[in-house]
Amino acid sequence: MVKLDRYIGSSVLFAIIAVLGIIVGLAILFAFIDELGDISETYTLLDALSYVLLTSPRRLYEMLPMAGLIGCLVGLGTLASNSELTIMRASGVSLGRIVWAVMKPMLLLMMLGVVIGEYVMPWTETVAQANRDLAQGGGEAQTSKHGLWHRQGDEYVHINAVQPGGVLLGVTRYRFDDERRLETASFARRAQYHDDYWQLDDVVTTEFAERETRVNKTASERWDVELTPQLLSTVVMSPDALSITGLWNYARYLNEQGLNSGRYWLAFWVKVLQPLVTAALVLMAISFIFGPLRSVTLGQRIFTGVLVGFVFRIVQDLLGPSSLVFGFPPLLAVVLPAMVCGIAGVWMLRRAG
């Protein structure tokens, strides 16, 4: 039985790895083509290629559920086409045993996905984002296309680029009074974090009084703000590129500031429950092999897997923003599609058994 489990698991695992390689390769190609539109004198072709390669761990992480679905259909489908699954069932191998043999390599892939999403992806995304922002113009006020905005109390901050190690480039600050009138606007070319404060360099501050405007220039200035380099590395990236711990900490920080944290809670639950979503899709793929896709060709199985995967992704992408608009819990938006797939898979497997 151990050899049989290993044979089924390896067949499915190799199929999933092959499908994952194809999907990620296509995603990287399309991302590189998309980056070509931003090519300029400072943002070169090599910079675009470096950015796409550094963001490839995120694309691999995002494609794991779909690769698990299609790969399972291909791997188990090949065994079904060769009548191997029929022989196994006739020899007394239970359906539950086959399901468990398929789930074993999936557990390995789920663990790999957690490691990539928690440790590898945040670092590569930070480096990729910092390099691109710096190449596209981090030395002037608000010239960077991919800079970030942040609110801290009555101060609105725009940062052109965030570099690893607690270095900011192009920091613009706008301070408003209680009646939302602009009081001051300042720009610093560079900021360095020291213990519990930021030191701004080459600062130009404009003060807006009732009848006059004053401009002050200083070589350096202390900036006391609750933003830390760790927190800024979270702010600079999209929620999908953050780690689970980063999403948790930043969502709580936004709640403390009285700001909307829905996008970050949604991304948090998507990442936490990704293993559950992957398992539900794989379970549904197994039920397809023993049910409606038992006697079809490999091409039909692949087409079905792609179709189901895209429909699942579209539903998930629709429910997620809907939870932010209509106010129902983001957890429900993530769990509901996976629950439907899991229930459908169990129902079809019971019929096949």
Q: How confident is the model at residue 142 (pLDDT cuts 50, 70, 90)?
A: low
Length of the chain: 353
pLDDT at 55: 93
Beta-strand runs (E) in the chain = 148-152, 155-163, 167-176, 182-194, 197-208, 213-223
Q: What is the pLDDT of residues 45-69, one digit of tens each?
A: 999 999 999 999 999 999 999 999 8
Q: What is the mean pLDDT of residues 172-197?
A: 86
Residues 165, 167, 173, 175: what is their CA dihedral angle, to the nearest 10 degrees? Answer: 40
C-alpha 156/C-alpha 149 separation (Å) is 7
Question: Helices 95-115 & 2-35, crossing angle to 10 degrees?
Answer: 40
Residue 335 is predicted with a pLDDT of 92
Structure tokens at 304: 């079905």
- End-to-end Cα distance, the chain: 20
Per-residue pLDDT, 1: 63
Integer-rounded Cα Rg, in Å, for the chain is 25
Note the helical H segments in 91-180: 95-115, 121-135
Q: Is the distance from CB of 130 to CB of 159 less than 8 angstroms?
A: no
Please state the pTM of the whole predicted model.
Answer: 0.79
Whole-number pLDDT of residue 41: 81
Domain boundaries, given as residue ranges, for the chain: 2-135+263-352, 148-232
Rounded to whole angstroms, the Cα distance separating 339 from 74 reads 23
- What whole-number distance in Å separates Cα of residue 215 and Cα of residue 154? 21
Lowest mean pLDDT among 99-108, 158-167, 192-201: 158-167
What integer is the mean pLDDT of 198-215?
85
Average pLDDT over residues 313-335: 88
Going by pLDDT thresholds of 50, 70 and 90, the confidence category of residue 272 is very high
Work out the average pLDDT over 271-277: 91
- Asked if residue 280 has pLDDT above 80, the reply is yes
What's the rounded Cα separation, in Å, for the pair 292 and 303? 13
Report whether pLDDT(173) > 80.
yes
Q: How confident is the model at residue 145 (pLDDT cuts 50, 70, 90)?
A: low
Task: Give pairs for 314-318: CB < 8 Å, separation 24+.
Answer: 316/270
Supply the pLDDT for residue 164: 67
Residue 98 has a CB neighbour count (10 Å cut-off) of 22
Which band of pLDDT confidence, cut at 50, 70 and 90, is reported for residue 137? low
For residues 180 and 183, what is the distance between their CA atoms, to the nearest angstrom? 9
- At 353 the pLDDT is 62
Residue 20 in this model has a pLDDT that exceeds 90: yes
CB burial readout 272-302, b (16+ within 10 A) else e: bebbebbbbbbbbbbbbbbeebeebeeeebe
Yes or no: say if 245 and 234 are a contact pair by the CB < 8 Å rule.
no
pLDDT at residue 170 tops 80:
yes
Average pLDDT of the chain to the nearest whole number: 85
User: Measured between alpha carbons, how far is 22 from 170 in angstroms, rounded to an integer?
Assistant: 39
